[in-house]
Amino acid sequence: MRPLRKGAVLIGVLVASAACGGASSPSPSAVTSPPADGATPTPPPANQAKAGGTLVVALPGDITRTDPALIDDSNSSYVMQQVMEGLVALAPGSTSEVVPALAESWTLSPDGKTYTFKIRQGVKFHDGTPLDADAVVYNYLRWKSFPTELQDYSYYAGAVFGGYGESSNVASVVAVDPATVAITLKSPSSSFLLAQTLTVFAISSPTALKAGKADNTELDISKVEYAQGGPTAMVGTGPFKFKSWVVGDNVTIEKNPDYWNKDATAYLDAIVFKPVAEEAQRLNGLATGEIDFAQTIAPVDIATIRANSELAVIDRGESCNTMQISINQNYVPVNNLKIREAIASAVNRDYLIETFYAGLAVPADNWMPVNTLYAKPLNLPTYDPERAKQLIAESGETDLTIDFYYPSDVTRPYMPDPKGIFEAITSDLEAVGLTIVPKTETWRPDYLDDEYAGKFEMWLLGWTCDWSGPDNFLKTAFFGYVDGAPSTEFAYRNDELEKTMNDALAATDEATAKALWEKAQDLIRADMPTVPLINSTPPAAARADVMGFVGSGGLNEYFHSVWLDR
Amino acid sequence: MLKYIVRRLLATIPVLLGLSIVLFAFVHLLPGDPCTAILGQRQTPAACARLRENLGLNDPLYVQYLDYIGGLLRGDFGASVINSKPFFDEFSVRFPGTVELTVAALIFAVGVGIPLGRLAARHAQGWIDGLVTAISLFGISIPVFVLGLVLVLIFGVTLGWLPTQGRIEARAGFEPTTNFLLLDTALAGRWDLFVDVLRHLILPAIALGSIPLAIIARITRASVIEVSNEDYVRTARAKGLTERRVDDRHIMRNAWLPVTTVVGLQVGGLLGGAVLTETVFGWNGVGRWVVDAIGNRDLTIVQSTILVFALIFLIVNLIVDVGYAFLNPRIRYS
């Protein structure tokens, strides 16, 4: 079955065939070599895939905890999505295509409030206990009722469920029969299903949760053994099993020979995830073979990697981030729409993409990437310095001085060289007559604290998606109100937009949701509160004999299909 | 002697207590709080307020301090705000890494530095002396991270002789028990991995040991030359003793003292230099951990690590002082 695209979030019935479940047959050509040198090696066909071997994967940092519900970082999530599964998953290579996983199928009630999931039968957790409706309910109720001490670490449960306990938007989670779970919301939420693809909503073995003190009775997270590694941790249903975590050094997972989906049994015997913070070290490790696969590399290293026939650059395809010039409307002259339009016209995005992203990015034409659910082209201004000058003249502003900030000591997936990008943009802005006062602060804690507190007039910042839905970009990342008022960071007031976004989230049918989200985009476009610049696809790199990898702009990447041609 | 050691050990208590107050004050003077570190771009005023409350950051400073000291007395050194691991869970993994690296660097620095110094002293003012002086100048001048990167590029990437990062081959899947990997691999009878761990140690040890090596060589040279001019050395030679005997019994015996002092002091420097070396070689040690913790405002980890390090430093100093007594019978402590 071809899983539904985009609209799958609101589609009622999705019947799954045996081949589904986020498990496609391996595609050996997924590791792409550069077109530049023309030396693309022809990978052997899938039926030549070899089983066995250990893959060493370099991540930018260590995992934080081994309990999927108590993480909110991408390193932990990246490891766990190999071991743990939720009711639904994202199709390999996609950022928004929902496919069955532990749920074979699901329906949504006409009022948009009740999701009924058919639980896959015959699935066993890694500890040998069976998956059934009760196990699913146990997990969901645990997340819903996290005590306040643990809520600091369960960002997504709080965000997606709209709070905890009685104040949660989740009214009930019940086992209708051993193979059916019904989740009822108080009010419809069109992003609910897509959000269930997040690793944090992976189903753990209730037996292991209880053994690891992860049953909401232990309030001190440092004593929740399920979160701290060790034998009871990370017990899921996935194609790999958790083996060990040596903090700061590695997380090792090994093949699950009893995986329920025989079409997606892992080829590899084991994967070792190593935190390698320095980009140069990842490159050295790849070159010497100490590392097989680097999850993230700096775009500036692409040329070096392409020059080495033993290595390959991996283009992830769809973007799931947005980099923008953020603006706070409490400051003059950036509170003037014409000035903001002028800034949008003044920046040469193509130059930035070629210089800092090695071409692995596209100019942003929206506040969310083009493949996001309901995203539409907004015809944002393109590079036109003459128009920018004209807009500035029309603006009536006399003081054209702008304090402009960039973060130091950091690179972000959407911003590989903050200082370089900042300098290029500054020179573009000064060329059209604006006076830029360059400012910088260290990323943590100063930059994030001060931009959030509204101390910046204009600054560089972006967002990497949690899920590829419009709410995650437009509302969560950017313009949603905080505690009923415009956020301190943007100080952008548009009550109609706020209402439209809330209505869109609560829409019970796809057509209404689509119409409302498109209206929201038009409202934002009209005000141009910030200036979106770029959607990038951060590259990965691997040894050339690493086959079968399917990249995803949202880092939803599954290693069961990966094999070593050695 | 025993009384002296006990007294010195007791004296560490007020030192550590004073240090803990100063540390606590400094750490809490750092701008920013862990909210940004934990919640990043997802922070909201409500979430930050809840976090501060749960972490006890809303209490008055003296209450926080007393809580912290109370915890220390119960053996509870707190937990990281980043991965919520209890301090010793992570310290016990990372500290052995730093110890192995520091000891290896010290062995390299002493093992090469002292013979170099003696060689230079014996041929004082000659070309060998000049060469040794040049080497030690080079060692002192070149920053650890530059030397580290150069070593990695030459011996790791280009020649492929030695590994470029980490403490052990990742694919080996070795599960350590004490995290002193040389010990663990030996106890497990995995001599192939023992050799692998040694190979991983070579480049970082050379990078980290270069500065102490240079200093030790210089001090040894100076000390040997000074002692060589003493009357008793001339007397020894006049008695017709072999040059070797003069060297071992009369010169080096007396030249050891300043060298020992310097070696002891270098341990502190090595622990400091370990931060850079650990970063360059992806070494899972305490140095990198503390630097990350400072950036993350992981205050508990910063405080506890520095306190434990201070304790170690005090003990090393004590060992050095006691060592004097063995090296020089004229020194007696009471």
CB A160 within 8 A of CB A173: no
CB A319 within 8 A of CB A371: yes
Q: B284, A249: Cβ pair inside 8 Å?
A: yes
Q: A228, B149: Cβ pair inside 8 Å?
A: no
Mean pLDDT of B310-314: 84
Gap between the Cα atoms of B299 and A504, Å rounded: 42
| Closest residue by Cα to residue A167 from A176, A158, A155 | A158
Confidence label for B8 from pLDDT (cuts 50, 70 and 90): confident
Confidence label for A9 from pLDDT (cuts 50, 70 and 90): very low
- Residue B34 domain flag: no
Gap between the Cα atoms of A124 and A237, Å rounded: 6
Which has the minimum average pLDDT: A123-132, A347-356, B68-77, B261-270?
Answer: B261-270
Q: How far is CA A438 from CA A106, A225, A288, A407, B76, in A?
A: 53, 47, 41, 11, 46
Packing angle of the helix pair B191-228, B253-280 (nearest 10 deg): 140
- Residue B277 domain flag: no
Supply the pLDDT for residue A7.
36
Mean pLDDT is highest, among A496-505, B18-27, B59-68, for A496-505
**pLDDT tens track for A258-278:** 999 999 999 999 999 999 988
- Residue A165, token pair as written in the block: 């306990």
Contacts of B46 in chain A (CB under 8 A): 483
Gap between the Cα atoms of B164 and A281, Å rounded: 8
Confidence label for A46 from pLDDT (cuts 50, 70 and 90): low
Please tell me the CATH code under which domain A321-536 is placed: 3.10.105.10
Gap between the Cα atoms of A204 and A48, Å rounded: 34
Mean pLDDT of B239-248: 83
Give B140's contacts (C-beta < 8 A, 6+ positions apart). Answer: B211, B214, B215
Confidence label for B332 from pLDDT (cuts 50, 70 and 90): low
Top residue of A255, A288, A481 to mutate, by most chain B CBs within 10 Å, is: A288
- Residue B238 domain flag: yes
Residue of B nearest to A287 (CA): B157
Contacts of A246 in chain B (CB under 8 A): 93, 175-176, 179, 284
The yes-or-no verdict on residue A15 having pLDDT over 70 is: no
Q: B93, A248: Cβ pair inside 8 Å?
A: yes
Confidence label for A481 from pLDDT (cuts 50, 70 and 90): very high
- Residue A64, token pair as written in the block: 């934080």
Give A322's contacts (C-beta < 8 A, 6+ positions apart). Answer: A364, A366, A367, A368, A369, A414, A462, A463, A473, A477, A532, A534, A535
Top residue of B77, B83, B168, B184 to mutate, by most chain A CBs within 10 Å, is: B83
- Residue A231, token pair as written in the block: 């034998």
Greater confidence (B331 vs B28) lies with B28
Gap between the Cα atoms of A403 and A330, Å rounded: 13
Across chain A, what does the average pLDDT equal? 89
**3-state DSSP call for residue A358?**
coil
Q: Rounded to 5 degrees, what are φ and ψ at B89?
A: -60, -40
Q: How many residues does chain A have?
A: 566
**pLDDT tens track for B139-184:** 888 888 899 999 999 999 999 999 999 999 999 888 899 999 999 9
Confidence label for A30 from pLDDT (cuts 50, 70 and 90): very low
Greater confidence (A22 vs A377) lies with A377
- Out of A152, A221, A288, closest to residue B160 by CB: A288
Supply the pLDDT for residue A29.
36
Greater confidence (A455 vs A510) lies with A455
Q: Residues B38, B39, B41, B43: is their CA dihedral positive or negative?
A: negative
* Amino acid at position B131, single letter: L
Please give the ipTM for the structure prediction.
Answer: 0.88
User: In angstroms, how far is the first alpha carbon of chain A from the final one?
Assistant: 33
Mean pLDDT is highest, among A141-145, A317-321, A368-372, B81-85, for A141-145
Gap between the Cα atoms of A451 and A467, Å rounded: 24
Gap between the Cα atoms of A306 and A539, Å rounded: 12
**pLDDT tens track for A179-228:** 999 999 999 998 899 999 999 999 999 999 999 999 999 999 999 999 99
Strand partners, A106: A117
Confidence label for B232 from pLDDT (cuts 50, 70 and 90): confident
What is the percent of chain A where pLDDT is above 70? 92
Q: How many domains does chain B have?
A: 1
- Residue B39 domain flag: no
Mean pLDDT of A17-27: 35
Q: Locate tokens 């903050």: which residue?
A: A418
Mean pLDDT is highest, among A226-240, A441-455, B2-16, for A226-240
- Out of B40, B163, B166, closest to residue A448 by CB: B40
CATH number at residue B261: 1.10.3720.10
Based on the number of CB atoms within 10 Å of its own CB, is B243 exposed (0-12), middle (13-18) or buried (19 or more)?
exposed
Which has the minimum average pLDDT: A96-105, A392-401, A430-439, B282-291?
Answer: B282-291
Q: Locate tokens 């439209």: which residue?
A: A500
**3-state DSSP call for residue A182?**
strand
Which has the minimum average pLDDT: A6-15, A225-234, A246-255, B126-135?
Answer: A6-15
Supply the pLDDT for residue B206.
93
Which residue range(s) make up the domain with B243?
95-266
Q: B37, A246: Cβ pair inside 8 Å?
A: no
Q: How many residues does chain B have?
A: 334
- Residue B67 domain flag: no
What is the percent of chain A where pLDDT is above 90? 78
Mean pLDDT of A513-538: 96
| Closest residue by Cα to residue A436 from A533, A343, A338 | A343
- Residue B59 domain flag: no
The reply to whether A3-9+28-281+539-564 and A321-536 are identical in fold is no
| Closest residue by Cα to residue B99 from B292, B299, B309 | B309
CATH superfamily of A3-9+28-281+539-564: Periplasmic binding protein-like II (3.40.190.10)
Supply the pLDDT for residue B334.
59
B229–chain A nearest CA distance, Å: 51
| Closest residue by Cα to residue A296 from A360, A244, A370, A362 | A360
CB A64 within 8 A of CB A75: yes
Gap between the Cα atoms of B270 and B282, Å rounded: 17
**pLDDT tens track for A118-177:** 999 999 999 999 999 999 999 999 999 999 999 989 989 998 998 999 999 999 999 999
The yes-or-no verdict on residue B299 having pLDDT over 90 is: no
The residue extents of the domains of chain A are: 3-9+28-281+539-564, 321-536
Strand partners, A175: A181
Gap between the Cα atoms of A458 and A451, Å rounded: 9
Supply the pLDDT for residue A115.
97
Supply the pLDDT for residue A45.
53
Q: DSSP assignment of A267-335, as one string?
A: S-SEEEEEE---HHHHHHHHHHTS-SEES---GGGHHHHHT-TTEEEE---S--EEEEEEE-TTSTTTT
Mean pLDDT of B21-49: 79
The yes-or-no verdict on residue A294 having pLDDT over 90 is: yes
CB A246 within 8 A of CB B85: no
- Residue B212 domain flag: yes
Gap between the Cα atoms of B266 and B102, Å rounded: 10
- Residue B40 domain flag: no
Top residue of B33, B41, B276 to mutate, by most chain A CBs within 10 Å, is: B41
Give A390's contacts (C-beta < 8 A, 6+ positions apart). Answer: none
Contacts of A277 in chain B (CB under 8 A): 279, 282
Neighbours of A406 (CB within 10 A): 24
Mean pLDDT of A26-49: 45
Mean pLDDT of A90-95: 89
CB B185 within 8 A of CB B193: yes
Contacts of A64 in chain B (CB under 8 A): 82-84
